[in-house]
Amino acid sequence: MSKNRTLVLCVDRDDDIGYKASIDGPVVGREACLRAANALGLVDPEDSDINAIFEAVRLYDELYERGEDVAVAVITGDHMHLLDGDRKIAKELDTIIRSTGADYCILVTDGAEDEYVLPIIQSNVVVSSVKRVVVKQMPNLEGTYYILKKLLDDPKVARAVLVPLGLALLLYAAAFLMNYPEGATIVVGGVIGIYLLFKGFGIDEVFHHSLSALQASLHAGRFTFVSYIVTILMVIVGIIMGLNTLLEYYQTSGLLFHALAFLYGGILWFTAAGLVASVGKIIDILLNEREGIRRVVALPFFVLALGAVTYGASIYTLAISEIPEFPVAADTGVQYIILLTVGGLFCAFFGVYLQSLLGRWTAEGHPVMAEEDA
């Protein structure tokens, strides 16, 4: 036997064997891997992960016949949330390496998606080889149709492609029903553009994490659950008020003017929403982990500072644009932006000072807040 042990590792990043065949990962050992492949094959014979698992077993048999010290395993991620799945893969891999004592790894995947976890694997064990299993398809139109059909049947692909496309078509039809056909292209283009920006900047992940935080606060009975709900409602009201202001003071003055006109109507609501969320976070920390108050005590001051500066900038921009209906004159707009900017900077400075004061207080060994006597 070789002194060093090799691990033949198959990665099922989207956890098909768990989602479809109800087999929990990790799967370790030749017989266990064969049972997992057979179970998945009986549920979905067309799944490419079956071929990857069989290839891992074949490599295991080949190395074992050569007299090498070898082990085989399958690690799984999460079918719906790939980020959480990658963390699960890291934990499973650590468990397998400790149980098998592997020194090297041969990675077997069924496509490029699984190879995204290659850095995770390399951080735990030396990867000596990567084997990609490609399922042979008929090179004709029928084969192309089959591949597209299988992709669209995947829930992840369907949500990413079909949902925005269906929403765009519905908005296009609604614009024609409202006798506004010239706006249909604008609406559809805007929806697709917003969706691409959300995906490109990862804003959809921000929404996902926000929803997870909201669910966690609900399950833990935290005050932030109520404050987050109020924050969401205030943000919705702010968006509506901003759109009303944009329509009221609409001019062909460029994108920056339109953005500031929108903010003029909604920034007060957005600022109030940020204050409610940050105050709710502070209350939760005071009730549960007082030692962490220094990390969040400056949040409401920063939110107030940002809101004040943005409000002053929007007032000044609209005031100098010579809009007849705008209630603030140009000279008054200058006063607004100066006063609100100075006030915002003072709020930010006070927040930083308070955070630093609490930091020095705790560093000297004083409690942040006196605990009640039992």
Q: pLDDT of 42-68, one tens digit each?
A: 988 877 788 889 989 999 999 989 888
Instruction: Say what the pTM is.
Output: 0.48
pLDDT at 34: 92
Arithmetic mean of pLDDT, 156-182 = 73
Per-residue pLDDT at 140 exceeds 60:
no
More confident site: 292 or 132: 132
Residue with tokens 């956890």: 15
pLDDT at 205: 66
pLDDT tens, 69-128? 899 999 988 877 777 788 888 888 888 888 888 888 998 887 655 557 788 888 888 888
For residue 174, give every residue at least 6 positions away whose Cβ sits within 8 Å of its Cβ, in sequence order, or none: none
Arithmetic mean of pLDDT, 165-185 = 73
Return the amino acid letter for 249.
Answer: Y
pLDDT at 309: 92
**Greatest mean pLDDT range, 165-169, 309-313, 332-336:** 309-313
Measured CA to CA, the distance from residue 122 to residue 66 in angstroms comes to 25
pLDDT tens, 215-264? 666 666 677 778 888 888 998 898 888 888 877 776 656 677 778 888 88
Q: Are 358 and 294 within 8 A, CB to CB?
A: yes
What is the crossing angle of helices 255-288 and 224-248, to 10°?
170
- Which residue stretches of 124-183 are H helix? 141-153, 155-177
DSSP 8-state class, residue 293:
G
Exposure on the CB side of residue 306, measured as CA atoms within 13 A: 15
pLDDT at 21: 85
Return the amino acid letter for 61.
Answer: D
Exposure on the CB side of residue 26, measured as CA atoms within 13 A: 23
pLDDT tens, 344-374? 999 989 988 888 887 777 666 555 544 443 3
Measured CA to CA, the distance from residue 93 to residue 8 in angstroms comes to 12
* Strand 126-132 versus strand 5-12 pairing type: unpaired
